[in-house]
Amino acid sequence: MMTPFELGLVRVAVASPAQRVADVDLNVAAIRAAMERAADAGASLVLFPELSVTAYTCGDLFYQSLLLERARAALITLAHATAESRIAVVVGLPLLQDGKIFNCAAFLCDGAVVGIVPKTYLPNTQEYYEARWFASSRTARFDAVEIGAQHVPFGTDLLFRAANLPQCVIGIEICEDLWAITPPSSDKALGGATILLNPSASNDTLGKSEYRTALVAHQAARCLAAYLYAGASPNESTTDLVFAGHSLIAENGALLAETERFHFDTQLVTADVDVERLTNERTKNTSFAQQVARQSYRTVEFTLPEPRATKPYVLERPLSRTPFVPDDPRLRAEHCREIFTLQATGLAKRLKHTGIKKVTLGLSGGLDSTLALLVTLKAFEILDLNRRDIVALSMPGFGTTERTQSNAEQLAAYAGITFRTISVRDAVRQHFDDIGHDENVHDVVYENAQARERTQILMDVANQIGGLVVGTGDLSELALGWATYNGDHMSMYHVNAGVPKTLVQYLVEWYAGSQARPEEARVLRDIAATPITPELLPLSDNGALQQETEATIGPYILHDFFLYYMVRHQFPPRKIFWLAQYAFAEMYDAATILRWLGVFYRRFFSQQFKRSAMPDGPKVGSVALSPRGDWRMPSDASAALWLNEVAALQAESRVSPQITSSQLTRA
């Protein structure tokens, strides 16, 4: 089984050490202790603040030759320590070269000084006056310096590529560089850097920490990169300023970790950044591909230390079992409101454009059709249309239960819409006679004939009233092809096309809790608790369901997880399997996850022809499968590469595929 490191996960750390102004020996000791602590936490890389070897607030002591000499010598000591601690390190120091002092960040790894990057933008206003002591990188007329016996690359044009993990490319800018209108990190990202580092000494004032956090997260998002920011600690001089030791780790706009502020002892946090995810994100981002770095870069290769295996691995980044559904209730409610509004606005625009004032939809008493009705109600409210012109059709078949039938009737009554019940049983039996099918054979013909008859009724009634058919199927069903081609697969506007099954339930529950009257909410909550089923197979003698979707094709919570990481992040089966094992450790064993992962890939590839012919519908999230927008895939593409990797994982785990033909029906 591949390790997290091999899957592109790099554990990084940011630290604000317990330093003392101008005490190089004490600062080196504090940095070494923090290095060891970061390595023990499994980090491969740790970033320290600006001028961390000397402290930032030395003032005119930066002119002292003794301080400069000891800072330069400290690099050799710290470089040797990286070999002992097995961790890569970036520290800040003043470096005297050719009669100028440069504010620098030094990259240290495997016992050596790998490269040194000078600061470009020197703040020299208000509380800052760096130009008094330091020269900008623009004034350097050399591209290497001597550190002890080492000839070390020097310049802002350096990028550091991990030979053992090529997707990990490190670029460095220093403090004020980030505040520039065009930060150097933007260009370094275009040059290939996936992890951007900023050793900083930004003091704290009222509101500055919030601004700093937003700035770091925003730059990580703009650069499609991880961004590490290490801030100087409160141990800096407080003659005129206070520093807080605020350090952050962000990835593509999301804050992964930050230190607590205003602590005098060393503060350190770690997080796992996913360089494969970042690389994949850039690969499909055409704006990124069309931009070119303004300068050329020298790439210095190094070997990134693999994390120590001193403790059981614990993933240090957010990983939700339901990536489409926020875990935070407040954020989840906000998302539900936004998605619901997007759906309703999409339908309202279609009705407005066509001039159609009436709709039909199938109301089964299940989750998807319930959400479609609620969205339609909102669209009619937006357009000030009469609710009675929403014609909901209950079309009971051979597997319809009293529970779903009753819920559909009650919901329609509370909504004040037109409700009709048209059984499909007799029509389907006539169809069986016409084509010579035995009603007792409960195969794909038996199931799909009901679905197609229902669609025919919806279309014909829509023609009767001059209306539009609102589709009810969701994103998860589109991914798995769990819909009857030219049956429930078809409509005139597909309002749930962008909503995965795991989110449908939360949307209905959100509506029940925030939009519905008490009596209506009771019905909605019962619908949300109803087993997911197409109700196409006959009930048992005691009226119980004999068909539950998730027992046939697998849990939607797994399939939505697979869908998100395959389509949104382009991860291969091995990485999706590893993440799923981690996310669902308490729910499913490896055999179960691999079983349904195989089903997912088989169905996703074999059912593309349905998505190629899907009706219009609104995109509401980061994953969509419309053939006119986000997902272009030939219907006859082979799944062999993906299934072979699943088979290899099954062999490694000694797992039997256990895939049956029933999991490939509903064509």
State the Cα–Cα distance between residues 355 and 366, nearest whole angstrom.
29
Residue whose tokens read 């002092």: 101
Geometric angle at alpha carbon 608, from 603 and 613, rounded to 5°: 140
Closest to 147 in 3D by CA, of 198, 212, 207, 78: 78
Cβ neighbour number for residue 84 with a 10 Å cutoff: 12
State the Cα–Cα distance between residues 594 and 659, nearest whole angstrom.
10
Beta strand spans in 231-342 (E)? 248-251, 254-258, 267-274, 298-302
Quick one: three-class SS letters along 120-137? CCCCCCCCCCHHHCCCCH
Would you give the distance in Å from CA 105 to the centre of its chain?
31
Closest to 508 in 3D by CA, of 618, 378, 372: 372
State the Cα–Cα distance between residues 282 and 326, nearest whole angstrom.
24
Residue 645: active-site member: no
Residue whose tokens read 């033909």: 661
Geometric angle at alpha carbon 93, from 197 and 301, rounded to 5°: 50
Options 58, 109, 119, 610, the catalytic residue: 119
Phi, psi of 425 (to 5 degrees): -60, -50
The secondary structure of residue 240, as a DSSP letter, is S
Residue 50: active-site member: yes
**What sign does the dihedral 2-303-80-176 (CA atoms) show?**
negative
Joined tokens for residue 607: 């059912």
Residue 175: active-site member: yes
- Where residue 491 falls (left for φ over 0; alpha for ψ -120 to 50; beta otherwise) is beta
State the Cα–Cα distance between residues 101 and 120, nearest whole angstrom.
13
**What sign does the dihedral 357-362-367-370 (CA atoms) show?**
positive
Joined tokens for residue 149: 């016996």
What does each C-alpha distance from 573 to 9, 111, 313, 393, 655 come to in angstroms? 16, 37, 20, 41, 15
**The length of the chain, given as a count of residues:** 667
State the Cα–Cα distance between residues 88 and 27, nearest whole angstrom.
18
Phi, psi of 55 (to 5 degrees): 90, 155
State the Cα–Cα distance between residues 297 and 245, nearest whole angstrom.
31
Closest to 390 in 3D by CA, of 498, 482, 495, 474: 495
Enumerate the active-site residues.
50, 119, 175
